Amino acid sequence: MASHVIDSVFFKDLYGSEAMRTVFDDHNLLQKWLDYEAALARSEASLGLVPMEAATEITRNARAELMDKDAIKRGVDKTVHPLVSLIWQLSERCEGDAGGYVHWGATTQDVMDTAIVLQIKEAFPLFESALDGLIAVASQLARTHRDTVMAGRTHGQQALPITLGFKIAVWVAELKRHRTRLNENKPRVLTGEFAGAAGTLASVSEHGLEINARLMHELELNVPEIAWHTARDNFAEFATLLSMTCATLGKIAHEIIDLQKLEFGELEEPFEMGKIGSSTMPQKRNPMICEAILALARLARTQATTAIDAMMNEHERDWSSFQMEWAYIPEICVMTHGALELTHRVLSGLIVYPDNMIRNLNVTRGTLLAERVMLTLGQFVGRQHAHDIIYEAAMKSFEDRVAFADVLKQNSLVTQHIEAEKIDALLDPMQYTGLAGIFVDKVVGK
């Protein structure tokens, strides 16, 4: 039985996706180790360091389904070494003297590092597709609600009218930047490792650079400039990027959670009959998908901290840091992809309540448009003096719970410059959304 939520029979699809779990499962990791050993043998054979028939035999046997996984596990337990039992087994499976050329010139960390990179390489298309799909559905939502007016809020309080499309376009712009960052990180993180025991390739120094180049060509990875056994910045950058992406998804989810509160009632995550919010309160329509996204965002943040911690290594090899990557990289990848899929699910079926948005525009009794009145009055009395006048009027409206328009119309400092009908027009929230629609068009197109 699984003992972690990303593999749990019950919870795994709230904490990840099947596709990303497959990328990081034991079978695929084993195959990546074997892919490295086979590619290394072929690269060395092409330079005459290993007999070509030996490389062919190593490649023929470098298949995860041929390996005795239980024997590998027993070997790990006995040797306290992650790879040597696999090297032994692969060597023994090869006919003739081919097994003697397995792992020639490499060190274990070369294989382990590159295997993780190869897994990340498989993960990239999943992230790219998920981000592209999410950007597309969010963009369509922004276009649909380009002119759906709602209250903009700052410091948790109503500020000025905006549109729902504007709010979502801000999300889209941020997601697009993450997509750009993913592209920029790709060539750095998809760099393999062939450096030997202390990183100098001393055992194959005559051909080391050429082996490195040919090996990375075989694996379709970038060639390292120098050994990175103790330089983990590329992984840290990748993990931080995923954590930032999750933070954006968490922000989106949290916003929907807030706006789904009955006191707001402006948005709601997808609902269909059969979705249950509470085992004891039948009326509840809880934002439980959004809560799962927010949980994933918080968990991903801790993995970014771990990634930074793993950058601090000693000397030319430090497995106390290196081994943390075996845990945090699969987790942050699985959880981030899960968060992307859940967010796509939420935005694809997002329920919007424009009537409630209009209702909420009026809860301040008109003070939502205080800025507009202030700037109009400021043309006659100066901005700061106008601010003082409108401030007092707004506070009176709030404290006495009376319409802001009525307070303004009873204030001679206002009415000597602005007539009553103009006051009513200035307090129309539908007419004060600024360039919200234009910004939507800039981000997502018309």
Residues labelled as active-site residues: 155, 278
CB contact burial 316-325 (16+ within 10 A = b; e otherwise):
ebeeebbebb
CB neighbourhood size of 250 (10 A): 22
CB neighbourhood size of 396 (10 A): 17
For residue 315, what are its two tokens? Answer: 């000397």
Distance between CA atoms of 34 and 103, rounded to whole angstroms?
Answer: 10
Distance between CA atoms of 325 and 238, rounded to whole angstroms?
Answer: 12
Burial of residue 2, with CB atoms counted within 10 A of its CB: 0-12 exposed, 13-18 middle, 19 or more buried: exposed
Contact between residue 219 and residue 118 where contact means Cβ atoms under 8 Å apart: yes
Distance between CA atoms of 93 and 159, rounded to whole angstroms?
Answer: 71
H/E run at residue 145: none
Helix 288-309 vs helix 324-348: angle between axes, to the nearest 10 degrees?
A: 150
CB contact burial 179-209 (16+ within 10 A = b; e otherwise):
bebbeebbeebbbbbbbbbebebeebeebbe
Q: Where are the beta strands (DSSP E) in 57-148?
A: none
Please calculate the CA angle 95-66-99 and round it to the nearest 5 degrees: 30
H/E run at residue 153: strand 149-154
